[in-house]
Structure 1
């Protein structure tokens, strides 16, 4: 009798546990589906916007959703209302950073990665003096958003966190921009003095005084240094002299000839293909999207394909202008609708400049001596940025991360 009772009890308990597990599984799939729906609607590009299920415990019925998008939060709140379990939405920036929701890069070139830790893939770079938004602190690193909207992780030592007042003070301060390819700042107004840091083109520092042939500058962390006047300009003067012409963009691009290819690189220390085009435009006072697959969505479309959607060299030679962007998919015979994996700047006469191994010039013409690289890729699109009315192609002074 006791044996039968025990067996019956265990059988009923097993059914209850199975039903509970099924309920948990159903809820998990429901939450996962809602997050996917919100992501598709409000954050289709995870490089610039976040909607993600970051914690899920089906046994305890607890779920945590992370989001940078207010509209996504509103959508999710309306959908999870009344669902069983504990489902919370964590907005970014979150409480891990307190009031310091801004940061300013404190190295000549800071490396940003897809995940915390130096072993993670490099996503992009940011230059000294660049403002970023701080979204979160994780394992001693900050998750940040750059001026072009790119979200990635950076070591805490690479930037200076700031609150609203501190970032306003930084943005309103007079500044200089370093205009040589490479150089350094000094501890005194003397080139024989100790170096404070290295510098690269595009680095921005606060101007505190002038001392003979030197600018006295302040770093985001308040270090004081000196830069030769011949190697920098006031930031306002630099902005005033930027003119977005094909000649200027290509001139800037050619100053990077021979630079090594560096995955995630966006500085004269090394560039990847889209980091190269981004830097060429930044040198002329414009902020453009970070990656090739994002850059192809900006600007004016140029017709370079035949009726079947394949590259037409004759049409390209006719329609392309210098400084237009050429976009490629990998593989000679790949589908022209394939994902963009490479970008170059068109020079003219069938030649283009790009970062592939090094920054170099190749040709799309089969009889050219520098045609070799072209035959390994497929051109799938071209875009014109110069003269385009597109909010994604933005003057530096109009970008919220640079203007006071």
Structure 2
């Protein structure tokens, strides 16, 4: 069985309960495999990054296997406005955040099952130059930190890096420790370019944080909010707190 998100932002939870931890979010147009069905909840696996969790039955629409396979092959088109709206055939409005998927998009229209939608805003549809990663990262500047979040209204560190890379046409996995396994290792900060990723660990050596490297030894990352701090060989130096907040583990070149 398969499904697609037909609402703007839906929580993906660790367990089948509204009070369970939100481990991620599903944005409009994201589709998935239904692994298990319960009375009110379904355990799903997202097609985009294989991330798993539980979603309320009332917050998605089922699709056929044939449509799922067509979506897999469909070149992704994402909404490019900070926030915008779509309309259906009866002019009902639905707001969508940046990075929402617009299935089979053409001439400002797209479809989910037999339902036709209209979207007039900017879209992202191709792989961008590495410099565009930085430009799009600034779209999220000052977004509040939200565990499991993936939008400018609340985002976590790996959700931030994943979404920026996504709208630029590149695929990252969901969690920082998963993203740290992607790409090519760089030995020194001096070898890095703006757009590369820096990962940080805790005292046990577990990767717990990630950010996007900027020029001149700076980094943009989600810590309290999406912010810019100094990056050095020790880690992230927060000028507001006048201390290092994260310990550098590894730098990776993804593109």
Provide the residue aligned with 1:313 in structure 2. none
Q: 1:173 and 1:346 mapped to 2: Cα distance?
A: 31
Alignment map for 1:114-125 (pairs within 5 Å): 114-125=14-25
1:186 equivalent to 2:87? Answer: yes
Q: CA deviation at 1:376?
A: 2.3
Q: Is the helix fraction higher in 1 or 2?
A: 1
Q: 1:140 aligns with which of 5, 21, 40?
A: 40
Change (3 A) 1:166 1:381: closer
Alignment map for 1:289-300 (pairs within 5 Å): 289-300=173-184
Q: 2:74 and 2:8 mapped to 1: Cα distance?
A: 19
1:160 equivalent to 2:61? Answer: yes
The gaps in structure 1 that reach 5 residues or longer are 1-100, 305-315, 387-404
TM-score by length of 1: 0.56
Q: What per-residue deviation string (whole Å, max 9, x for no partner) do you get for residues 172-203 of structure 1?
A: 78986321110112357xxxx96421111122
1:243 equivalent to 2:140? Answer: no
* Matched-pair contact (CA < 8 Å) for 1:178–1:203: yes
* Matched-pair contact (CA < 8 Å) for 2:77–2:105: no
Asked which structure has the greater RCO (Cα within 8 Å, sep 6+), the reply is 2
1:383 equivalent to 2:244? Answer: no
Q: Is the strand fraction higher in 1 or 2?
A: 2
Alignment map for 1:306-385 (pairs within 5 Å): 316=189, 318-330=190-202, 334=203, 338-364=205-231, 370=239, 372=241, 375-385=244-254
Paired residues in the alignment total 251
Q: 2:93 aligns with which of 191, 196, 202?
A: 196
1:226 equivalent to 2:118? Answer: yes
Instruction: Tell me the secondary structure at the aligned position of residue 204 of structure 1.
Output: coil
Change (3 A) 1:291 1:173: closer
Q: CA deviation at 1:129?
A: 1.4
Q: What per-residue deviation string (whole Å, max 9, x for no partner) do you get for residues 100-126 of structure 1?
A: x22111112221011111110111112
Q: CA deviation at 1:352?
A: 0.2
- The worse-fitting range, judged by mean Cα deviation, of 116-125 and 154-163 is 154-163
1:256 equivalent to 2:123? Answer: no
Two-structure CA RMSD over aligned residues (Å):
2.7
Q: CA deviation at 1:168?
A: 4.3
Q: 1:121 and 1:258 mapped to 2: Cα distance?
A: 23
